[in-house]
Chains A and B, each alone.
Chain A
């Protein structure tokens, strides 16, 4: 069975600083995808970044990047130059193709002005 674990229920970072959110996962699949979703108070789940497991290169989207360690089954999210609008719940997730996505329990990120 797939599992996704986020060990940090809450984190805080000063505005303009860098923060890293941790995630570990477990899967028996050889072909899978990893995601970070952001859920602001509006509750809309927004895709932040996506990583294909077969790609060694870490995905990057503007200020967001991941550190994908396949052997360690680790998938952390780094947010650079944190902005007030980054405050939200962040969910790490794993899925395969068009199958279901398994979510972690989330990390609530606070941005301190």
Chain B
């Protein structure tokens, strides 16, 4: 139990549609990161938010966007879904106030299938 919750757990979307995935961070955490994990692969960094500002982005197109809210919960939005977007999307939260290597905690992920 990491205190990071994600919703929905599973969903199926049609190519071209839009999807919003949600993450509730562990209490007191001010940093949230999103990762995409395709089947048989390790997680790939999408982006990170620190105190509601984007704080780094991986090699993902602009149709992947996000938000972090004042309560530090977060959303991942993906527009114009493609078949290759089918993956497990992991949210991870941590408390960061300096570059001190803080432990991050993962949620159980949202399984997205694009058909």
> Which residue from chain A places its CB closest to the CB of B100 in the assembled complex?
A97
Structural contact, B99 and A42, CB atoms closer than 8 A: no
> Which residue from chain A places its CB closest to the CB of B4 in the assembled complex?
A44
Interface positions, chain A 47-99, Cβ under 8 Å from B, are 47, 50, 52, 91, 93, 95-99
Tell me if A17 is interfacial: C-beta within 8 Å of chain B.
no
Interface positions, chain B 88-104, Cβ under 8 Å from A, are 88, 90, 92, 94, 96, 98-104
Which residues from chain A contact B42 at a C-beta distance below 8 Å? 4, 91, 93, 103-106
Interface positions, chain A 20-65, Cβ under 8 Å from B, are 31-33, 37, 42-47, 50, 52
Count of chain B residues near A, Cβ 8 A: 32
**A101 to B106 alpha-carbon distance, docked (Å):** 12
Which residues from chain A contact B96 at a C-beta distance below 8 Å? 97-98
Tell me if B2 is interfacial: C-beta within 8 Å of chain A.
yes
**The residue from B55, B99, B102, B109 contacting A43, defined by CB atoms under 8 A apart:** B109
Please give the distance in Å from A14's CB to the nearest CB on chain B.
Answer: 25
Structural contact, B48 and A42, CB atoms closer than 8 A: no
Query: What are 10 A-B contacts with C-beta separation under 8 Å?
Result: A31-B99, A44-B106, A44-B108, A45-B92, A46-B106, A47-B103, A47-B104, A93-B42, A100-B45, A106-B41
A contacts, CB < 8 Å to B: 4, 31-33, 37, 42-47, 50, 52, 91, 93, 95-106
